[in-house]
Structure 1
């Protein structure tokens, strides 16, 4: 765990000198292929495997709708994120522990650039999407980790049930 924190700090320091991604800017799409890495909460999915689409609305009252989603193990979901607010929001999948750690990093480095297959950064009035394969059973979380948003309660839960 300590090694993970060291890597996160080192990565954040390196990224803090890179181009900034938060604020009015959105992450560049297609700049480089994203790595599909197995996570505790699943792995990036492919559009050909999508079983269903779940629309998630984001608002400036710091809420997601819906904020509770049930998924079957092995299901590939396309999340479509609609930002109905006037500020940028993001959708980041993970465990509570991972999201807590990432949120702490975002507070220290609010302009750090990051782009992973389990996150979407959505500008005001825009739409974003991710495709994720939930290949592990468990209770997982999603959140907006922009400074202040997570602490204000912009969080949700995903329950992955066995087939």
Structure 2
């Protein structure tokens, strides 16, 4: 009979309890991409980007629904915007898997998509992103204060590569 069984089991139990907080924190960050990251309660960070700047929800002059589906389509996949216009982009996930919408330049979105492939559980929260669980909606409120051609896409690993992207043309003020 092994007399060390109880201490070994007790030690294993104690070590398991010590590892529990780390395990729980790991699980919460592994699914962080699916959360809204407290966006509704946090103040909007307004940092000028080449494609515009975040805006308060009350500033939106119109809402554009963008449907996301598991066949890796965004609909509509092209938007026309007037320079200075503030839109509420409402991302509607009609699929059964997580999707997101991220605004940016083509180069920025490609770089971010490459990073997402390397770090699929990466946690981030920017006002030009909406992470949308299946059957839910997410909003981006954005002022397009720079004229030019920009893009929006789902950057979850594999979705961007499958063609889940669209274009935004911001027409200069006359």
Decide which structure has the larger Cα Rg and report it.
2
**Unpaired runs of at least 5, structure 2:** 1-25
* CA distance, structure 2, for counterparts of residue 47 and residue 106 of structure 1: 28
Compare the two structures and name the one with the higher helix fraction. 2
- The secondary structure found in structure 1 opposite 2:100 is strand
Residue number among 116, 135, 138 corresponding to 1:128 in the alignment? 138
Shift of 1:160: 0.1
Question: Is 1:84 aligned with 2:94?
Answer: yes
Relative to the length of structure 1, the TM-score reads 0.84
- The secondary structure found in structure 2 opposite 1:19 is helix
Structure 1 vs Structure 2 CA RMSD: 1.7
Q: Indicate the structure whose relative CO is greater, using CA pairs within 8 Å and at least 6 residues apart.
A: 1
Aligned to 2:37: 28
* CA distance, structure 1, for counterparts of residue 143 and residue 100 of structure 2: 19
Between the two proteins, the alignment pairs up a number of residues equal to 146
Shift of 1:47: 1.9
* CA distance, structure 2, for counterparts of residue 99 and residue 34 of structure 1: 21
Question: Is 1:104 aligned with 2:114?
Answer: yes
Relative to the length of structure 2, the TM-score reads 0.79
Correspondence list, 1:12-161, <5 A:
19-20=29-30, 21-22=32-33, 25-29=34-38, 30=40, 32-161=42-171
